[in-house]
Amino acid sequence: MRRLFRTSLRKRYDVPLPDGRLLTLGERTLVMGIINVTPDSFADGGVRFDAARAIDDGLRMLEDGADILDVGGESTRPGATPLDEAEELRRTLPVVEALARDRRAVVSIDTYKAAVAREATLRGAQIVNDISALQYDEALGPAVAASGAALVLMHNRGRSSDMYRHAQYDDVAASVRLELAAAIDRAVSAGVDRDRLVVDPGLGFAKKAEQSYRMLAALHELEPLDRPILAGPSRKSFLKAAIGDVPPAAREWATAAAVAASALLGAHIVRVHGVREMVQVVRVVDAIRGAAIRSDTKG
């Protein structure tokens, strides 16, 4: 166990946000609460499709300890149908604008479309969370650069309709690291400051269950990228390989295990549905990490 903690010491990063705040990552594990403003979310059945409900739930997540609120209007589950830009704007902008008024909130917009990112950042979104790592819309990088927002680059291959066809790896962790390095280069070439970038290994995206588990176990192998790490295992289908055919809403215990492993192995941010429960999980993990660091320092 001592080797585990030595290889997963988190470097501290101060990520600049467009409103002048710094998002400090590494001192403790930050929790990003998921707000799906969709009728077909795989994880919550579309309960937040109503904007007023989504806003209320976002405010409740802040009360429960969320550090970041991630608002998304398009389902990106495997096989999902792409959403047109106008409808995504209609779903997300009122929620982003309302939540951004609360100064406790750091609001993220979960989109791969430049127009959605542009409008959301104008209304207060501080982070753009892109599942394509700048591969779907070539205008997204320049739009993020112009806004000054932070940018999450998630590893992925293909589209939702065919991502599993691309799940071919000799070494999944090595491939993800190389492809995220290329994504960082794309972002910097588009004008995004490197210190505004966060990387996400894309658990469950273009990865079979065993590949997602391998990537999670090897999370520390992303440290050479020298960027903070976001992990999003919440309620995903790869968890079924360990617990059986359990529906998404009943996967919170399995999610807790994956969230704890993510924080232990170096994630700076965990992206979750059940904020109150997962805040407790990461606080205990952070206490364990702190004890391990103090023990290593002494001996």
Percentage of residues in the chain with pLDDT exceeding 70? 91
Average pLDDT score over residue span 106-121: 98
Q: Which of 78, 144, 142, 79 is nearest to 111 (CA)?
A: 144
Average pLDDT score over residue span 214-222: 96
Average pLDDT score over residue span 122-143: 98
> pLDDT per residue over 155-193, tens digit each?
999 887 778 888 899 999 999 999 999 999 999 999 999
Secondary structure class of 163 (helix, strand, coil) = helix
Domain boundaries, the chain: 2-298
Rounded distance between C-alpha atoms, residue 16 and residue 14, angstroms: 6
Q: What is the mean pLDDT of the chain?
A: 92
Please report the pLDDT score of residue 45 as a whole number.
45
Q: Whole-angstrom distance between the N-terminal and C-terminal Cα of the chain?
A: 14
Average pLDDT score over residue span 204-218: 97
Q: Are 28 and 38 in contact (CB under 8 A)?
A: no
Average pLDDT score over residue span 272-280: 98
Please report the pLDDT score of residue 76 as a whole number.
78
Q: Are 156 and 132 in contact (CB under 8 A)?
A: yes
Q: Is 236 a catalytic residue?
A: yes
Average pLDDT score over residue span 232-240: 97
Choosing from 271, 276, 294, 298, which is the catalytic residue? Answer: 271
Q: Which helix (H) or strand (E) holds 253?
A: helix 252-264
Q: Which of 254, 275, 271 is nearest to 263 (CA)?
A: 271
Domain spanning 2-298 has what CATH number? 3.20.20.20
Please report the pLDDT score of residue 159 as a whole number.
83
Question: C-alpha angle 271/273/208, rounded to 5°?
Answer: 65
State the pairing for strand pair 150-154/127-130.
parallel
Please report the pLDDT score of residue 193 as a whole number.
98
Please report the pLDDT score of residue 79 as a whole number.
67
Does the pLDDT of residue 80 top 50, yes or no?
Answer: yes
Q: Are 67 and 29 in contact (CB under 8 A)?
A: no
Please report the pLDDT score of residue 296 as a whole number.
65
Choosing from 91, 159, 207, 236, which is the catalytic residue? Answer: 236
Question: C-alpha angle 122/43/115, rounded to 5°?
Answer: 20
